[in-house]
Structure 1
Amino acid sequence: MKKQTVLKGFVVAVIVFLGFSLISCNDERYEPIPVKLSDVNGNYRARLITSQGGKNNEKIIDFATKDSIVTFKDFPLREIVKSVVTDPVKADTALAHIGKVEYKLNFKSKINAEQNVVELTFEPKVLAFQIPVDGVMKNTVVKLAAKQKGFFVGYDWSMRFGLEAEKITIDGVDVTPFQTIKYDIPISLKN
């Protein structure tokens, strides 16, 4: 009986001690680590939402950022190729033959200390590659634009931005009709 009383007293003492230790934590405030321009550099895994017309497609992609350049080792081309090659079987065959296309996206960065983010202003270049259609290589040029700023967020070390394919030209001729292709990256986490 004496052992149970001692054990109960010990358990009560531990519970009281834990209660007081948790109360002392209430005064601590979260102080974010201020972002630096160099924090943007790194490898990212991103959720990409591609939309054209009423169709949306989601996939996970990887990209790297270094020295004011975002590098996509494998830029998503499916919607671009399907805008050019309307036959689904031929489009899938063309995509298989194209393989990976690298795209480099330049940006300028500026710290917004009040919100603890790095603001990214993108300067897209054209994306050029060749699409094989019925044994003939078609020179494809895609005009990309960034309508809004992107952000590197210090709170969760993520990057968020978007691009649009505004126009596609095949062998110097604009693809018509053409619906804008939007590439939105609502979140990408640094590896």
Structure 2
Amino acid sequence: MKIKKVLRFLMFAAIALTGVSLISCLEDQYTPVPVKLSDVDGNYRARLVTSQGGKINEKLIDFNAKDSMITFKDFPAREVVKTIITDPAKADTVLAHLEKVEYKIKFKSKLNTEQNVIELALEPQLMAFQIPVEGVTKSVAVKMTAKQKGFYVGYDNSLRFAWEAEKITVGGTDITPYQTIKYEVPISIKN
């Protein structure tokens, strides 16, 4: 009999404690820290998703955003090289000897206080580098374009954007047939 009374008391105490703790949660509210245009500037680590046709490749990369410019010091040019050189063994040899390719994307930023984000109007630049093709070094020019805005999200301090390689020219000649290469940074973490 005493055990039943003790158990009832403990059950009542547990229910009362749970109710009090839930009431205290009602007063907790998330107050976002407002973003500023300068918040975009910084060094980032990102997951770059590259797709061409049905093939998808993911790679961790680092980049920098400063003064309305996103700069990749070592841009992964794998898909571009494999589009130019269709023999996989030769393409792998070229990739092994390819120097770092720097690539830059200009952007114009606009504050969206309602959603606590910074909208980025991307202006991808021409990517140019040299590769050896059949024993001759040739100039490669990749015309890039962006069809959607990028975003700096104040909630998690991340940068998200996408663009695509519209056309590849080697030594002044366009690569044909050509499938568009799409690049997407779905999430990047500010260092």
1:82 is aligned to 82
* 1:110, distance to aligned residue in structure 2 (A): 0.4
CA deviation string 1:77-118 (max 9, x = no partner):
000000000111111111111121111111000000000000
- Does the alignment pair 1:26 with 2:31? no
3-state SS of 1:49 partner: strand
Separation in structure 2 between the aligned mates of residue 43 and residue 18 of structure 1, nearest angstrom: 44
2:172 is aligned to 172
2:169 maps to amino acid:
T
Structure 1: 5+ residue stretches without partners: 1-11
2:50 maps to amino acid:
T
1:140 is aligned to 140
Map residues 121-140 of structure 1 onto 2, 5 A cutoff.
121-140=121-140
* 1:19, distance to aligned residue in structure 2 (A): 6.5
Aligned length: 182
2:5 is aligned to none
2:97 is aligned to 97
Contact 1:97 1:132 in 2 (8 A): no
3-state SS of 1:129 partner: strand
Separation in structure 2 between the aligned mates of residue 22 and residue 45 of structure 1, nearest angstrom: 38
1:120 is aligned to 120
Contact 1:90 1:133 in 2 (8 A): no
3-state SS of 1:95 partner: helix
1:131 maps to amino acid:
I
Separation in structure 1 between the aligned mates of residue 146 and residue 41 of structure 2, nearest angstrom: 20
Structure 2: 5+ residue stretches without partners: 1-11
Contact 1:144 1:163 in 2 (8 A): yes
Name the % identity: 68
2:64 is aligned to 64
CA deviation string 1:103-139 (max 9, x = no partner):
1111000000000000000111100001112321011
RMSD between superposed Cα atoms in Å? 1.9
Please report the TM-score for the alignment, with normalisation by the length of structure 1: 0.88
1:157 is aligned to 157
Separation in structure 2 between the aligned mates of residue 131 and residue 54 of structure 1, nearest angstrom: 25
* 1:155, distance to aligned residue in structure 2 (A): 0.9
CA deviation string 1:138-159 (max 9, x = no partner):
1100000011000000111111
1:53 is aligned to 53
Separation in structure 2 between the aligned mates of residue 98 and residue 56 of structure 1, nearest angstrom: 22
Separation in structure 2 between the aligned mates of residue 16 and residue 46 of structure 1, nearest angstrom: 47
Contact 1:44 1:188 in 2 (8 A): yes
